Amino acid sequence: MRRVWTVAAALAAWMLGAQAQAAEVSVAVAANFAAPLKRIAAAFEQHSGHRVLSAVGSTGSLYAQVVHGAPFQVFLSADQKTIVRLEAEGHMAPGTRHTYATGRLALWSAQPRMVDSQGEVLRGTRFQRLAIANPKLAPYGAAALETLDHLGLRAQWQPRIVQGENIAQVQQFIASGNAPLGFVALSQVMQEGRLTGGSVWVVPSSLHTPLKQDAALLKRGVDSAAARAFMDFLRSETARAIIRAHGYED
pLDDT of residue 3: 44
Spell out the per-residue pLDDT of the chain, length 250, in tens.
Answer: 434 444 444 434 433 444 446 799 999 999 999 999 999 999 999 999 999 999 999 999 999 999 999 999 999 999 999 999 999 999 999 999 999 999 999 999 999 999 999 999 999 888 999 999 999 999 999 999 999 999 999 999 999 999 999 999 999 999 999 999 999 999 999 888 889 999 999 999 999 999 999 999 999 999 999 999 999 999 999 999 999 999 998 7
Residues 52 and 17 in one domain: yes
The widest CA-to-CA distance across the chain, in whole angstroms, is: 83
In a domain, 26, yes or no: yes
**C-alpha to C-alpha distance for 13 and 219, rounded to whole angstroms:** 33
Residues 64 and 142 in one domain: no
How many domains is the chain built from? 2
Residues 149 and 31 in one domain: no
Question: For residue range 44-54, what is the model confidence (pLDDT) as tens digits?
Answer: 999 999 999 99
In a domain, 29, yes or no: yes
Dihedral, CA atoms, 14, 16, 21, 22, nearest 10 degrees?
A: 110
Pairing mode, strands 161-164 and 130-133: parallel
Domain membership of residue 192 as a residue range: 104-207
In a domain, 82, yes or no: yes
Residues 154 and 191 in one domain: yes
Residues 98 and 217 in one domain: yes
Task: Output the domain CATH number for residue 58.
Answer: 3.40.190.10
Residues 60 and 178 in one domain: no
In a domain, 41, yes or no: yes
In a domain, 250, yes or no: no
Phi/psi of residue 73, each to 5°? -105, -30
In a domain, 121, yes or no: yes
Residues 110 and 43 in one domain: no
Residues 72 and 135 in one domain: no
| Residue 218 near residue 62 (C-beta atoms within 8 A) | no
| Residue 146 near residue 208 (C-beta atoms within 8 A) | yes
In a domain, 45, yes or no: yes
Residues 143 and 59 in one domain: no
pLDDT of residue 125: 85
Q: Which residues pair with 184 in a beta bridge?
A: 106
244 CB neighbour count, 10 Å cutoff: 15
pLDDT of residue 194: 87
pLDDT of residue 1: 40
Residues 151 and 75 in one domain: no
Residues 218 and 123 in one domain: no
**C-alpha to C-alpha distance for 184 and 197, rounded to whole angstroms:** 13
Residues 97 and 140 in one domain: no
